Amino acid sequence: MFIEPNIRNTKKGWIEVVCGSMFSGKTEELIRRLKRAQIANLRVEIFKPTVDVRYDEFDIVSHNENRISSTPVENSQQILLLTEGVDVIGIDEAQFFDNEMPQVAEILASKGLRVIVAGLDMDFLGRPFGPMPQVLAMADYVTKLHAICMVCGDIANFSYRKTVSDATVLLGEKDVYEPRCRTCYHQ
């Protein structure tokens, strides 16, 4: 006898992206969403790239020092190996991951998991950054956050690099970067 599956009770996954410039509150928003999931008694696992050791080797830490425990990983494929029995996946600084990050997010969402990805959408030159454009295109929900321009006080979308370096990846804080609006960024 064939029994029709109850589609309404099937666990459905999705991809959320929190993006914006530096100092826009991406990590703060990621932490907020993950802590709310923990309050709801959902099983949460959080990942960050091993290259990001600015505030802590293991924890994800926002600029205002809000923090949550995470697992540093070398590449996005490792995330697939560490998600057994989890309901919600958090991924911070996704722009630093490899080009397989979009497929990893899709695999996790297809397994019924809520995947929350946070990262810079543009590099310091104003170009799409790493795997973020593909993750954004695949996302079910996108939240673009804005900082405040350090020159004029308007809404800022750009991460202006104050130091001279051609390296796409240059970890730094307010000593190296500042948020700027479109006009002040291009001046």
Q: Which residues are catalytic?
A: 93
Largest CA distance in the chain: 71
Q: Quote the Cα angle for 97-176-162, to 5°.
A: 115
Q: What span, in angstroms and rounded, lies between the C-alpha atoms of 63 and 87?
A: 27
Which sign, positive or negative, has the C-alpha torsion 97, 99, 102, 108?
negative
Q: What angle do CA 66, 54, 150 make, to 5 degrees?
A: 75
Cα dist. 46→38, 72, 142, 146, 183 in Å? 11, 9, 19, 23, 36
d(CA 183, CA 62): 27
